[in-house]
Amino acid sequence: MKLYYRILLICFGLLLIVCEANVRKQGIRVPERYGASDYSDLSQQAKRRFLKENYFYSDMVIDEIINEKIFKGMTTEMALFSWGRPDEMDQREGSWGSVEKWTYGITSQGEGFKYLHFKNGRLDDWKD
């Protein structure tokens, strides 16, 4: 049984290495071979290549992400690439699953003007 867990941990570690994208405060770090160290600084062509090579998204999904569009059913990861890191994230878990609310554009009065709502890791609703 211990060998099974070790293999599982090794596979998970390899998956993280293959993806080569780490979220940090400024954005999403990417390997220098794409021409920049932060995803938001990449050209559209470099973003397309990065997403295709590391995440294997379909061309339709990549087009939506590059054009900063969102769509029902997209993953939190896809939304992160499309709109970037939210100003605020609220996550709740219960017997129904997990629910997340991402807020963008927090004003000095504490009000946001864009919201993304996820259920179990998939975009369910939004306000922009």
Per-residue pLDDT of 60-101, as tens digits, reads 999 999 999 999 999 999 999 999 889 889 999 988 899 999
Count of domains for the chain:
2
- Let me know whether 92 and 52 are in one domain: no
**What pTM was estimated for this model as a whole?**
0.71
Is residue 63 in some structural domain?
A: no
Is residue 46 in some structural domain?
A: yes
- Let me know whether 91 and 124 are in one domain: yes
Burial code of 20-53, b = ≥16 C-beta within 10 A, e = fewer? ebeeeeebbebeeebebeebeebeeebbbbbbee
- Let me know whether 37 and 83 are in one domain: no
Radius of gyration of the chain (CA): 16
- Let me know whether 75 and 125 are in one domain: yes
Is residue 65 in some structural domain?
A: no
Q: What is the mean pLDDT of residues 15-42?
A: 63
- Let me know whether 32 and 85 are in one domain: no
pLDDT attached to residue 17: 40
pLDDT bucket at 57, cuts 50 / 70 / 90: very high
Structure tokens at 62: 């990549």
Q: Which alpha helices (H) appear in 1-128, and where do they start and end?
A: 2-19, 44-55, 59-66, 76-83
pLDDT bucket at 118, cuts 50 / 70 / 90: very high
Is residue 2 in some structural domain?
A: no
Q: What is the mean pLDDT of residues 8-18?
A: 50
Is residue 111 in some structural domain?
A: yes
**Residue after which a domain boundary falls, among 31, 56, 81:** 56
The per-residue pLDDT for range 34-43, each reduced to its tens digit, is 877 888 888 9
pLDDT attached to residue 87: 87
**Residue after which a domain boundary falls, among 56, 82, 104:** 56
- Check whether 59 has a pLDDT greater than 80: yes
- Let me know whether 103 and 50 are in one domain: no
- Let me know whether 77 and 38 are in one domain: no
pLDDT bucket at 107, cuts 50 / 70 / 90: low
pLDDT attached to residue 45: 92
* Domain with 109 in it: 71-128
Is residue 3 in some structural domain?
A: no
pLDDT bucket at 20, cuts 50 / 70 / 90: very low
